[in-house]
Amino acid sequence: MEMQAPKGTKDMLPEDAYKWQYVESILRDVAKNYGIREVRTPMFENTELFSRGVGETSDIVTKEMYTFNDKGNRSITLKPEVTAPVVRAFVENRLFNEAQPTKLYYISPCFRYEKAQRGRFRQFHQFGVEVFGSKEPSMDVEVISVAMTSLKKMGLKSLSLNINNLGCANCRPNFNEALKKYLEDNKECLCGLCQTRLEKNPMRILDCKEKKCGEITKNAPIILDYMCEECDTHFTEVKKYLEVLEIPYKVDPSIVRGLDYYTKTTFEILSSEFTVCGGGRYDKLIEEIGGPDMPAVGFGLGLERLLLTLEKEGIEIPKENIFDLYIGARGDNAEMEGFKLANKLRAAGIKCETNHMGRAVKAQMKYANKIGAAFTTILGDDELQNKTIRLKRMSDGEQFEVSLENIEEIANVLK
């Protein structure tokens, strides 16, 4: 029986890997410009981290986590998102004792048991930025700027930013009370899960994907009408900083995101029909996970969804040149010298390939053309005796005669 990858997973083959490398290189370069350093966390964490951090009533915790008991009977979960693990690493390694803010980014696989569909997998990959230590609205906008700058560098033009404010511990209880009162009048029409949420966390109902719940919440109270003075001032300042950077935005009170830890600013960035990026402020998560009372803000961006969006908008990712030179050979001595030459050129930064399949010369040249080698050369007895080779540029057929022993001269032609 032929083995297949598990449902909801996908192999990344060489013909696609260059696209991922291109996107990741842009994300890393932009992060570097903002002084954001990379962090890597384990593939799995103690389950309690996600139930405490992400929220017991969130879809992720209630329906989507890959959770199991290990051989020590400890409950372990493959990470469904990366913010909580990064916060755990921040607290455990006491990075809060360093000069603040702490700016971190990650590129990581995540795991969620959900219906597999185009652009959505059970193993997927996220790029994200998390910034700890600053409560200033300017940091919210800097984080948004990182995301917008990255997406624009990839060629996305039709980007739209939607923002909201989810309030804080001071003003959210009043909103929750008003929301609960409104929803109780429609309780029987809510889905089973949302009927449970009504008692534990009514705001989570606003994020339900069930159509009937969406219809009910259309006319629900909005958090912006219940904000305290501090949250109102913060939101006003966020909008001012966005205007300073000339980033257009729209206030969308329906944005609550799918995670319980958000406070104050939340945002989503859309391109075409897709939400390609989302995030916000989570000022209590560090304390919830056992650290000090310290503010934080960040975002996550799904790489599969991003690549799908680039494809949909007709943005072509430049293909890399796999081989600069194919070294063909006729005869055993030439094969050996070609192998030796390839090794020297690789040390000089030239991407080379030689004959490892015992092909005849004609077949070697066919292969060189198939793999897209920019240049070819053929070594034989004459070339070895004269210590010269001809480099043929495949794009136009022009040839360059160079010394076989002058690696720098050969490299200069190939570059």
Residue numbers belonging to the annotated binding site for L-histidine: 81-83, 112, 126, 130, 257, 261-262
Which of 82, 22, 46 lies closest to 298, judged by CA? 82
Instruction: Give the Cα separation of 370 and 358 in Å (integer).
Output: 17
Partners of 106 in the β-ladder: 128
- Residue 66's contacts (CB-CB under 8 Å, 6 or more residues apart) are 77, 78, 80, 111, 112, 113
Q: In whole angstroms, how far apart are CA 309 and each of 98, 125, 303?
A: 38, 15, 10
The DSSP annotation for 256-316 comes to --S-TT-EEEEEEEEETTEEEEEEEE-TTHHHHTTS-S--EEEEEEEHHHHHHHHHHTTPP
Helix, strand or coil for residue 29? helix
- Residue matched to tokens 């984080």: 143
Which of 292, 283, 271 lies closest to 230, judged by CA? 283
Residue type, 195: Q
Which of 170, 297, 165, 182 lies closest to 239, judged by CA? 165
Q: In whole angstroms, how far apart are CA 153 and each of 27, 137, 146, 149, 290?
A: 9, 24, 11, 6, 38
Which of 122, 59, 48 lies closest to 85, judged by CA? 48
Neighbour count for residue 84 (Cβ, 10 Å): 26
Q: Which residues are annotated as a binding site?
A: 81-83, 112, 126, 130, 257, 261-262
**∠5-15-110 over CA atoms, to 5°?**
45
| Contact between 121 and 8 (Cβ < 8 Å) | yes
Query: Is the Cα torsion angle 29, 109, 291, 282 positive or negative in sign?
Result: positive
| Contact between 121 and 321 (Cβ < 8 Å) | no
Residue type, 181: K
